[in-house]
A = this chain, B = another copy of it.
Amino acid sequence: MTENAMGAATGRRRTWQRDAVREALGGQDGFVSAQVLHAGLREAGSPIGLATVYRALADLAADGAADHLQLDGESLYRACGSADHHHHLICRSCGKTLEISAGPVEAWARSVAADNGFREAEHVVDVFGICADC
């Protein structure tokens, strides 16, 4: 566990595949699974490989350029323009996901960690419920 917490883009090369993934991701409204993204790219003509899509998405997420969350057994990604840190409000019933900002929680998490002598604090915050439509 001695790895780069905020994995810097050390010597990351620019390939059309990487660009394609980034662009495809940006062209999506919400969260997309790696597989769906891959299928879309193939349909659009890219002979890109599935593994490459997974790797590109992982790198994007590591670089903070994409948000990553898991729902129903698969990884979902979404372009994340700002390094803005946010969380999710998820409907337990229909799976609808809203983005929420957690201003007060950020500070609280930091202070809790600091109070207990923890460094490099990160946190996971997700709120679940039943949305109005369900």
Q: Which residues of A contact B (CB under 8 A)?
A: 1, 5, 67, 69-73, 75, 89, 91-94, 98, 100, 102, 104-105, 108-109, 112-113, 116-132
Contact assessment for A125 and B105 in the assembled complex, using a CB-CB cutoff below 8 Å:
yes
Per the bound structure, the CA–CA distance linking A3 and B67 in Å amounts to: 32
Q: Tell me the minimal C-beta distance from A117 to chain B in angstroms.
A: 3
Contacts of A100 in B (CB 8 A): 112, 116
Known: A70-B70, A93-B5. A129 touches B121 (CB 8 A): yes
Query: Which of A89, A100, A128 has the most C-beta atoms of chain B within 10 angstroms of its own C-beta?
Result: A128
Query: Which of A67, A117, A129, A130 has the most C-beta atoms of chain B within 10 angstroms of its own C-beta?
Result: A129
The chain B residue sitting closest to A2, CB to CB, is B93
Per the bound structure, the CA–CA distance linking A112 and B127 in Å amounts to: 8
